[in-house]
Amino acid sequence: MDRLIEALRGAHRVFVLTGAGISAESGLPTFRGAGGYWRERRFEELASPEGFARDPRLVWEWYNERIAAYADARPNPGHFALAELERRVTLTLATQNVDSLHRRAGSQNVLELHGDLREALCSQCRERRTIGAAFPLDEIEHACGGRFRPNVVWFGESLPQHAWNAAAEAASAADVILVVGTSAQVYPAAALASDMNERAFVAEINPDATGLSGRCDLTIRATAAQALPRIVGAMA
Ligand code: OAD
């Protein structure tokens, strides 16, 4: 961990990529780990354009459950430590999460690669609607002939262009890349950690090994809420 702290102290630019694991200690399930969504449910049904076309109510029911879980969740010490790190170094945080917990912890420079579950988007006229406690199922069909869907990225879809371009640029320019709580299996997001910058010091924080671990300069086998406050605290 000392090598990472040294690298962060000397860094001009830091890039952080997070995934569902950083929110695990806020009580939110991951996708692929024990208790993860994709252990019991099929992502083709719930997180793809084809699944939505087949059964939009089923998809919205699942997202409404997640919206409720996000509303009950609070940022954990891992989220807060990254917000604190941004006050000390020039940092860009790209997240695959749609739970808003980074912003709620105070992070400012956040790129939401997989969208934002606080909004619904009409698939035809692109009208956006802020979602309150839940999206009303009787309002899925829009007057324009389209359907409101969650404003998130599904399998087979492109990432929002601005977020992707800004994340790719920040990853390429970084001296230190921190990869926290992601299995690094979903592309293109995972490429930000490994394929864009051979010069950066890359550190992974994850209690389990991932496909990326072998290519990191340092792997910290701890949870985000354990490791990040220690790292950021030690920089003072
Ligand atoms: P995954 O569920 O694939 O991976 C979560 C990672 O977090 C695993 O490697 C765990 O070991 C790790 N983890 C678990 N608890 C942790 C903790 N307390 N601290 C740190 N790490 C912990 O989730 P993602 O990599 O985010 O996309 O998945 C990527 C994308 O796949 C998601 O954005 C979502 C999903 O399908 C879409 O729905 C499009």
Distance 29 CA to ligand 1 centre (A): 9
| Cβ of 149 less than 6 Å from ligand 1 | no
205 contact partners, CB below 8 Å, separation of at least 6: 178, 179, 180, 181, 220, 222, 223, 224, 227, 228
Which residues are known to be catalytic?
114
For ligand 1, whether the C-beta of 116 sits within 6 Å is no
Ligand 1 pocket, residue 213 CB under 6 Å? no
One digit per residue, pLDDT tens: the chain, 236 residues? 899 999 999 999 999 999 999 999 999 999 998 889 999 989 999 999 999 999 999 999 999 999 999 999 999 999 999 999 999 999 999 999 999 999 999 999 999 999 989 999 999 999 999 999 999 999 999 999 999 999 999 999 999 999 999 999 999 999 999 999 999 999 999 999 988 899 999 999 999 999 999 999 999 999 999 999 999 999 87
Say how many Å lie between the CA of residue 23 and the centre of ligand 1.
9
Give yes or no for residue 182 CB within 6 A of ligand 1. Answer: yes
